[in-house]
Amino acid sequence: MKNNWTTLSLLEQLSCTFGPSGCEGAVADLIRTYIESYCDEILPDPMGGVIARISGTGKESKETIAPQRLMLSCHMDEVGFMVRSITEEGLLKISSMCGSDTRVLAGRRVWIGDELRQVRGVFGVKPLHLVKSDDRGRAVDMDDMYVDIGASSREEAENAVHVGDFGTFESDYVVFGQDGRYIKGKALDDRLGCAVLCSVMRQVYQADVRPGCDLYFAFTCREELGISGARTAAHKIDPDYAIVFEATAAGDIAGTKPYKQVARLGDGGAVSLMDRSTIYDRPFTDWILETARVREIPCQIKQYVSGGNDAGHIHKSRAGVRCAAISAPARYIHTASNVVAKSDIEAIEQLAMAVIDRLSGESERVK
């Protein structure tokens, strides 16, 4: 792969790649293509994830110069669906994976298939004029929805798709706003984290000085469906520290009270103190926040206890791991149109590099 790619050009490719939970193969292949020249080795992962290692020693050596291992984690999967049955009329009945909001599904274009083949479809629902007045305005149950792929019979549909096939949104990648400050696309949760870590890996590997600790870049599977890929990756790596790079819900929209806004676009990466799966290592978190202040990198604290991420299992791995999470605020998360700020992507990448630099250079580790 040529060396002239940028974080944002890679993000566009990753955003448009088909990869719901359990079907991340195409995303993993794309990531391997970009990073294979920028690490010492890519470790096997039976779960389907990608784990890359940059040693703290010379490029040819497998010996470590320090016992410290830093795991930088992101997840490759996106919210999606699975085909559970096909009607006699050729319509697909769908099960939701990862808790998609049915309010945003009607009329939404989707891809159905796997890593190698997909067909287009659209989410259908009973038209409004056939809905009873008492049911109007209510969210539609998933059992009352279907995907229309243009087939006129079960036989015709089965020539294109199969029960057990995956589905995800079809959505354009769009740069918009004044000076192109925002990005809209599907799967920015967490292809944004994937793009940032690929770029960080390239910068670290091409630097004149090797890091003072071993770095493990984990691109995990199935985060949206139980965080199983991070559990096995952390067990394999056995890190001392771990930082999860994610996207988090941003409530900086009309009608949301300030204390419920979680994080705001344009204010930098959001550092978590607590969510529904983790209480983060406070000295490590404070150390990261101090690094951002000293290096003058935009950064904010996630202001609302919600959600969870790979840290939920990483911090409990083996004898325990000191965990932190740095997330990009994203509006309309878990829909086809995630919106993030370019400046936040840049700030998160700068903070990742600053943390690696500081952790590598300090003889006295995080307290």
From the number of C-beta atoms within 10 Å of its C-beta (0-12, 13-18, 19+), residue 26 rates as middle
- Is 223 annotated as catalytic? yes
Spatial distance between the Cα atoms of 31 and 232, rounded to a whole number of angstroms: 19
Peptide bond connecting 214 to the previous residue in cis, omega within 30 degrees of 0:
no
CA angle, residues 199, 203, 207, in degrees to nearest 5:
170
Encoded tokens for 255? 């009608």
24, 223, 224, 246: the active-site residue: 223
Three-state SS sequence of 94-130: EEEECCCCHHHCCCCEEEEECCCCEEEEEEECCCHHH
> In this structure, are residues 40 and 54 in contact, taking their beta carbons and an 8 Å threshold?
yes
SS3 293: helix
Largest CA distance in the chain: 71
Q: Considering only CA atoms, which of 218, 220, 219, 213 is closest in space to residue 237?
A: 218
Q: Considering only CA atoms, which of 304, 306, 307 is closest in space to residue 259?
A: 304
Spatial distance between the Cα atoms of 76 and 193, rounded to a whole number of angstroms: 9
Q: Which residues are catalytic?
A: 223
